[in-house]
Amino acid sequence: MICIPATRHRHKPLASAIPPGQISLRFGKAVAGAGLLALLAGCSLAPPYQRPAAPVAATLSDSEGSMPLPASAERTEWKHFFADPALLQLLQQALSHNRDLLIATQHIEEARALYGIRTADQLPAISAGLSMLQLHLSSGLPMGNGDFDSTQYAASLALSSWELDFWGRIRNLKAAALETYLSQVDARRAAELSLTAQLANTYLLERDLDERIDIARQTLASRETTWHIMQRRNEVGSVSRLDVSQARSLYDQARAGLALLEQQKKRAHNALTLLAGMPLPEISVPLSAIENHFIAPTARNMSSEVLLDRPDVLAAEHRLKAAHADIGVARAAFFPRITLFGTVGSSSSALDGLFSPDTRTWLFVPSLTQPLFDNGRNQAGLDLANARHNLAVADYERTIQTAFREVADALADRQWLTRQVDAQQAIVLDQTERVRLARLRYEHGMSSFLDVLDAERSLFAARQTLVETRRALLSASVSLYAALGGGANLVPANPPPDTPAPRNGK
């Protein structure tokens, strides 16, 4: 802010040299001219944006082309995809309390603030000021003719250094900030989708362990009964101590297996608590009780373009667009920069005359700066912007390829795990029959107790593996839901001003 002082005794206020009407007219013309120049500033040096082609196959299918995809899974919200009430409650809690999501939300607010700063740079900043200057010169000074006192009051409105955006530098900075904001919005959606999948899979693991613990407890009780029977038979001399020892060994193995499963469940519950972001009560629900809640409708093969709506792919594209705008910023550094500065106000030696018509002042200072020699700084800045743009292109393409692979993996898992479940169910039936026959042979003295031990160990392992395989099949459906982009379309409640709320797609 510039204020022009005037002394009380020797100087006439500068404003009095110009008629008041001419002061207002001249400053008004200057401001109008600046506004016209700002309207004419419509050039942008950023290259035209073109979305890179997706480096993946055109359609999504399993390896044999026969496994159907979930019908509109990429459009289904998790509230409708997951039907288990306990899981839905966990998801609600996690979306409100998970710290990773809270951090992602603050990144959005950070990007919003930066966007607001870049938007403000497009318009001039005006400030108001009041000042008082007092000056005293003693009579002993060489230029003095007696004591001299002066008081000056000033009031002004100042137009700060405002850049006319001829080359689109500020507009591209704003565009880059907007794309950064949108990328953070989609990054949060991606984090929410990832959290949903992690929590669902961890919940399935806990239910898996609940069922396997039930199997282990049943097995433990059965083996304890067998051990006690062997002890009584040994007491009457019908079996040897070796048979008792083998029965006890089988019982101890079941105890150790149960303890291991209990430990794994505790760790799974701790992981679930971390994902939910708050303490959770421990529950015991077998996997078989919730399996029907994870069955999704199916449809035939679909285009790989659905991957472009995945939140992480959208976030990568927004980062690419931001890097694209940065090229325009770097190019604008080679061209002249035009800035405007001005003040209008009043200056008087008396406070009561500060706003009199003959005390007005104004100042208008346009400037033009052209880079001549910067030792290669601007060229290096452009090279940096191009390199970051190329990195963003590679990151976008890699994100699409990763998405395609995740879908392909989930489809393959669903296809082959379905067959594994069928085969494992047959194995359990076979092993159950084997145990029955081994016991009959042992009871009739046709084989040793080792055959019974081996058959029971095989049956226990087969039942455990069947539960794990069923859980893996359900997890594959969850992974496919997440790989196709899920359905969570939540956005911040307060998007930047004059900016449409981001949606899935463009």
Q: Over the stretch 300-357, which tens digit does the pLDDT of each residue have? A: 456 677 788 889 999 999 999 999 999 999 999 898 988 888 888 888 887 777 777 7
Cα–Cα distance, 428 to 373 (Å, whole number)? 81
Residue that has been written with the tokens 């020797």 in this structure = 10
Rg (alpha carbons) of the chain, rounded to whole number: 39
For residue 459, the Cα-to-chain-centroid distance in whole angstroms is 46
Which of residues 138 and 209 earns the better pLDDT score? Answer: 209
When pLDDT is cut at 50, 70 and 90, the band that residue 109 belongs to is very high
Closest CA to 405 of 470, 313, 488: 313
Cα–Cα distance, 461 to 40 (Å, whole number)? 78
At 416 the pLDDT is 92
Which whole number is the average pLDDT over 280-308? 74
Which whole number is the average pLDDT over 106-122? 89
Other CB atoms within a 10 A radius of the CB of residue 488 amount to: 21
Q: 211-215, 284-288, 391-395, 491-495: which range is least confident on average? A: 491-495
Which whole number is the average pLDDT over 219-237? 86
Q: Is the pLDDT of residue 108 over 80?
A: yes
Q: Is the pLDDT of residue 56 over 90?
A: no
Q: Over the stretch 412-466, which tens digit does the pLDDT of each residue have? A: 888 899 999 999 999 999 999 998 998 898 888 888 778 888 888 899 999 999 9
Q: Are 272 and 94 in contact (CB under 8 A)?
A: no
Which of residues 352 and 491 earns the better pLDDT score? Answer: 352
At 179 the pLDDT is 94
When pLDDT is cut at 50, 70 and 90, the band that residue 484 belongs to is confident
At 422 the pLDDT is 95
Residue that has been written with the tokens 């433990």 in this structure = 220
List, as one string, the DSSP characters of 185-216: HHHHHHHHHHHHHHHHHHHHHHHHHHHHHHHH
Cα–Cα distance, 360 to 420 (Å, whole number)? 90
At 480 the pLDDT is 87
H-only helix segments in 41-84:
78-81
Residue 320 CA: distances (Å) to CA of 336, 387, 404: 27, 12, 19
From its phi and psi, is residue 301 left (phi > 0), alpha (psi between -120 and 50) or beta? beta
Q: Is the pLDDT of residue 409 over 50?
A: yes
At 296 the pLDDT is 54
Average confidence score pLDDT of the chain: 80
Q: Over the stretch 13-50, which tens digit does the pLDDT of each residue have? A: 333 334 444 444 454 454 445 554 454 445 778 888 88
Domains of the chain in sequence order = 1-40+127-164+338-369 (2.20.200.10), 49-122+167-335+380-483 (1.20.1600.10)
Task: List, in sequence order, every beta strand (DSSP E) within 126-263.
Answer: 126-137, 148-164
At 195 the pLDDT is 92
Triad 362, 366, 372: Cα angle to 5° = 155
Residues in CB range of 179: below 8 A, 6 or more apart: 318, 319, 321, 322, 325
Q: Is the pLDDT of residue 79 over 90?
A: no
Residues in CB range of 424: below 8 A, 6 or more apart: 462, 465, 466, 469
Cα–Cα distance, 212 to 204 (Å, whole number)? 12
Q: Is the pLDDT of residue 247 over 60?
A: yes
Name the DSSP class of 122: T
Which of residues 72 and 232 earns the better pLDDT score? Answer: 232
Cα–Cα distance, 25 to 45 (Å, whole number)? 36
Closest CA to 471 of 287, 269, 343, 295: 287
Closest CA to 26 of 357, 368, 360: 360
Backbone CA torsion sign across 135, 136, 142, 145: positive
Q: Over the stretch 371-406, which tens digit does the pLDDT of each residue have? A: 888 899 999 999 999 999 999 999 999 999 999 898
Residue that has been written with the tokens 């609940």 in this structure = 210
At 210 the pLDDT is 94
Which whole number is the average pLDDT over 160-172? 87
At 15 the pLDDT is 37
